[in-house]
Structure 1
Amino acid sequence: MALELRQQLKLAQKLVMTQQLRQAIKLLQLNRLELSGALQAEIEQNPALEEDTLVQDSSERSSGLSATDENLDPGKESDFTEKFQVSDNLPEINWEDYANNFDSNFSFARETPPADAPSQFDFISEKPDLMAYLQWQLAHCELDENEWDIALYIIGNFNRYGFLEIDLDSVCRETGCQLDDAEYVLEVIQDLDPPGIGARDVSESLYLQLERLGKGDSLAAEIVLNHLPLLQTRNYKMLARATGKKKPEIERAINYIISELTPFPGLPYATDDTNYIVPDVYVKKIDDEYVIQLNEDDLPQLKLSSIYQELLKNDKTLEKESKQYLNEKLKNADWFIKSLYQRQRTIYKVMESILKFQYDFFERGAEHLKPLILKDVAEDIDMHESTVSRVTSNKYVHTPQGIYELKFFFSTAIPREGGDAMASESIKTLIRKMIQDEDKDSPLSDNAIAQNLAEKNIKIARRTVAKYREQLKILPVKHRRHTK
């Protein structure tokens, strides 16, 4: 068959996502902090979108998305442009307070400080991380240039616990040094502060700390070097048999290790940022009735630029390209405001549906969480499951029971004999409570927990209990046992 080029007409149906629809979907899946950044970015990019500096009545803003708002009627058309009005109550900043000089008002002599006076910014300090702290100490060690390069490479391969993650052969290969030089530099680093730094594992770290305290030949040193697994499980009987010591001696050694040593010396110098959760929606109980309130704090007020609207309407001298540009920007700004309001309305409807399905949770706690899937909420509010999934991802709600991710309210059903099915999260709560109330000298095993649940007509396998316990970050029974 010969190859040839041919033109054909073909009729097909396909769903094409416009740029506006992509933007609406993107806004829908943003959480509270990401939304604030998206608003600021859109204001900077679109000159037709600006902040409304007029402060509205707080009661009008709080009722903008209330349960009685007529705009929540999906069958009613309305203009969303002016509906999403959120005040920005940030006070005006006096930048003179941040001038790069000293305030002469604090001088008793009322004299202006000299020009070469140190800046107040010179005294702003930042907590150094582990690597900076070690470099400062190494600067006082008498290392030549080659040894200094080796030391920098070694401390550059420390993890957040202060342990060396590579072997000395890799150090020699990457730095081109001899094994004796690498060992010497590592010994120098291990003599630095904090004690135990530069170890390869927990056992070596604890031993280095004991050696620093002059207890390198003690019973505690023997335990951390040779019997660390028995120490982790507090198996005093096996420790006594392995070391040939009596139980009181072993108890004193273990108590010393626990009270005086730290297994991870680098953690106090970790500079991990703390991520705070900002709720996207609040559920409050007022007069025996739950009220849903969206978190709109610090979000800017949005409106179409009146200057561009007047310019497009009244200026007859505008060129065609300029009119097209203004029309496009005003259209995008109007669509952005409508998409933003639609996002808020969708979150409200999803939260309202969750409140209806999980009313017992809000009243009595996590033990009364019911099985719920995305399809249930989607059918209740007449939306697609993918939309509900986007709304509930990475968004949090502040409830009388605490702060929870919206995904928390969706869980699979666990059959229950002689009763309604239970949510997996409810069973996890029961397991956590059992472990909290257990006898610390004789903690519950996974099999015992499964048996206790079976007495409540909740029959799950031991391995399922183990899986739930691991998800709750609860240690196994051998690590929870407290020996008298």
Structure 2
Amino acid sequence: MKPSLVLKMGQQLTMTPQLQQAIRLLQLSTLDLQQEIQEALEANPMLERQEDGDDYEGTGGDGAPDAQDGGGSESSAPEQESLYEAADPAEATLGEGDWNESIPNELPVDTVWDDIYQSSASNLPSNDDDEWDFTSRTSVGESLQSHLLWQLNLAPMSDTDRLIAMTLIDSINAQGYLDDSLEEIHAGLDPELEIELDEVEVVLRRIQQFEPAGIGARDLRECLLLQLRQLPVGIPWLEEAQLLVSNHLEALGSRDYSLLMRRMKLKEEQLRDIIELIQTLNPRPGSHIEASEPEYVVPDVIVRKNNGRWQVELNQEAMPRLRVNAHYANLVRRADSSSDNTFMRNQLQEARWFIKSLQSRNETLMKVATQIVEHQRGFLDYGDEAMKPLVLHDIAEAVGMHESTISRVTTQKYMHTPRGIYELKYFFSSHVSTAEGGECSSTAIRAIIKKLVAAENAKKPLSDSKIAGLLEEQGIQVARRTVAKYRESLGIAPSSERKRLM
């Protein structure tokens, strides 16, 4: 076949840059959106924040002047124009106080920096202010290794022992246990030092006396024993607790209380007191010291009840309002094709697109949140057990959007309700058929399982089969495997591990 040119007509969907920007903003969380807005404000001079009670005169709906594409006379600039004018260089260079003082050409030899230059620390609150906590506002989380090294610097040791101690501390994981065996640690030391294995074990014993108690243990038994040995001698049942941990920890882990009472020749009340003492110990001593920063959740939607009706509103504090800077928009001239004017025109168009994308995001989020609240009013009134089945398709049909759009809106978006803060994904759950032909959501079933476990007999906890039978008595047909899956998602241990002594 000869190559030839053929003209065909067709249709295809093309994602414009504006649509791509709107979709990207739609799936951002609140914190990511605030960062995106800050970057846009820094990159586009046409954008600015709109504060409460701060509005330009003669501006359109997007915050720009009505005649912004016209000649744009500078006489219509707002009174806030002075905020964008360059300050006098002399005023910008000199301030008040010590900054106005001239610096001599020759300084004494013992001159201190703070004697000549104003220190930024002078802006901090004085030490007399009890409310000022410098450590809590400037420090980051302390790691377990740094905490142990701080104690090591206070302990008198030889250089060789200090080297061994630092190697051991590096081998301690975040839970407080020693990851490597002493033989492996000893093999990794410099052979020229001629360090014996006994020396490594002696240094480990010294580290195990550091805080928190139980640090540097090689297994759970040693960790619990280290903590028991650091307790005061007069504590009741201390010796029995040490004996139980040393010889019968496996039986305690399997909840075989009858075997423990028989082997240790104890009564049920005595064994209960011993177990209560052991339960005061921490099996993960390193978890007390964490270096991670706290993560905060900013709700996107606020739901409150007013006059018997649930009302939905966007969190205005998390949604900063933007507008087009009227002064810069007036500088754009219609017929001017210079590079500066073209740049400003492009920035103005991008600012309008960005504001429109934000408005579209807020409107979509409001529609979806309203439909969720309308569908889950029973949950807001009565709790998890009244949660109704809900899938993305239901909300997509109600608001006239695609399921992928609903998925983007509900990801990493949070709703503040009188019952707490929940991710929008939390309100979606599959359904299980009931005996009457109705439907029950998986969230409601989880709430019922949690309620049944909380009310069970601690000596004879409910098995998964028993829970499935109790649910069937309530008209909810759930298989044992489904009960086990829901129980594990709730973080509830199996019945063999929930057994307790009353």
TM-score, normalized by the shorter chain, greater than 0.5: yes
Instruction: Determine whether 1:311 maps to 2:331.
Output: yes
Match of 1:226 in 2: 247
Match of 2:464 in 1: 446
Using the TM superposition, name which of 158-167 and 24-33 deviates more.
158-167
Match of 1:372 in 2: 390
Match of 1:432 in 2: 450
Using the TM superposition, name which of 19-28 and 229-238 deviates more.
229-238
In the aligned structure 2, how far is the partner of 1:481 from the partner of 1:387? Answer: 46
In the aligned structure 2, how far is the partner of 1:213 from the partner of 1:284? Answer: 50
Contact 2:300 2:318 in 1 (8 A): no
Match of 1:478 in 2: 496
Match of 2:89 in 1: none
Match of 1:410 in 2: 428
The structure 1 residue matched to 2:175, chosen from 127, 144, 161, is 161
Q: 1:328 to 1:413 in 2, by over 3 A?
A: same
Contact 1:102 1:120 in 2 (8 A): no
Q: Which TM-score applies when normalising by structure 2?
A: 0.76
In the aligned structure 1, how far is the partner of 2:452 from the partner of 2:124? Answer: 60
Structure 2: give runs of 5+ residues left out of the alignment: 65-96, 98-118
| Displacement after TM superposition at 1:173 (Å) | 4.8
In the aligned structure 1, how far is the partner of 2:270 from the partner of 2:25? Answer: 64
Task: Map 1:115-126; keep pairs closer than 5 Å.
Answer: 126=139
Match of 2:367 in 1: 349
Q: 1:356 to 1:209 in 2, by over 3 A?
A: closer
Instruction: Determine whether 1:461 maps to 2:479.
Output: yes
In the aligned structure 1, how far is the partner of 2:225 from the partner of 2:457? Answer: 33
The structure 2 residue matched to 1:297, chosen from 301, 307, 317, is 317
**CA-atom RMSD, angstroms?**
3.4
In the aligned structure 1, how far is the partner of 2:135 from the partner of 2:405? Answer: 51
Structure 1: give runs of 5+ residues left out of the alignment: 1-5, 58-78, 84-95, 108-118
Match of 1:423 in 2: 441
Larger Rg: 2
Using the TM superposition, name which of 274-283 and 382-391 deviates more.
274-283
In the aligned structure 2, how far is the partner of 1:452 from the partner of 1:416? Answer: 13
What do the CA deviations read for 1:262-292 (whole angstroms, capped 9, x no partner)? Answer: 2222222223333232211012221122211
| Displacement after TM superposition at 1:450 (Å) | 0.9
Secondary structure, aligned partner of 1:100: helix
Secondary structure, aligned partner of 2:332: helix
In the aligned structure 1, how far is the partner of 2:354 from the partner of 2:189? Answer: 55
Using the TM superposition, name which of 381-390 and 226-235 deviates more.
226-235
Match of 2:31 in 1: 33
Using the TM superposition, name which of 332-341 and 20-29 deviates more.
20-29
Q: 1:362 to 1:17 in 2, by over 3 A?
A: same
What do the CA deviations read for 1:271-321 (whole angstroms, capped 9, x no partner)? Answer: 33332322110122211222110011154331112232122128x8x7622
Task: Map 1:3-402; keep pairs closer than 5 Å.
Answer: 14-53=12-51, 55=53, 81-82=62-63, 100-101=121-122, 126=139, 128-176=142-190, 180=197, 181-213=199-231, 218-243=239-264, 247=268, 250-259=271-280, 261-297=281-317, 299-313=319-333, 320-402=338-420
Contact 1:374 1:389 in 2 (8 A): yes
What do the CA deviations read for 1:4-24 (whole angstroms, capped 9, x no partner)? Answer: xx8977967654433332221
Q: 1:29 to 1:104 in 2, by over 3 A?
A: closer
Secondary structure, aligned partner of 2:121: coil
Using the TM superposition, name which of 240-249 and 322-331 deviates more.
240-249
Contact 1:190 1:198 in 2 (8 A): yes
| Displacement after TM superposition at 1:146 (Å) | 4.6
Contact 1:32 1:395 in 2 (8 A): yes
In the alignment of these two chains, the number of paired residues is 432
| Displacement after TM superposition at 1:405 (Å) | 1.3
| Displacement after TM superposition at 1:128 (Å) | 4.0
Q: Which TM-score applies when normalising by structure 1?
A: 0.79
Please tell me the residue identity of whatever aligns with 2:286. Answer: G
In the aligned structure 2, how far is the partner of 1:106 from the partner of 1:135? Answer: 29
Please tell me the residue identity of whatever aligns with 2:62. Answer: T
| Displacement after TM superposition at 1:148 (Å) | 3.0
In the aligned structure 2, how far is the partner of 1:104 from the partner of 1:348? Answer: 42
Contact 1:447 1:462 in 2 (8 A): yes
Identical positions, percent: 37
| Displacement after TM superposition at 1:46 (Å) | 1.4
Contact 1:80 1:341 in 2 (8 A): no
Greater length-normalized contact order (CA 8 Å, ≥ 6 residues apart): 2
In the aligned structure 1, how far is the partner of 2:225 from the partner of 2:355? Answer: 62
Q: 1:422 to 1:381 in 2, by over 3 A?
A: same
Q: 1:386 to 1:160 in 2, by over 3 A?
A: same
Contact 1:101 1:120 in 2 (8 A): no
| Displacement after TM superposition at 1:103 (Å) | 9.0
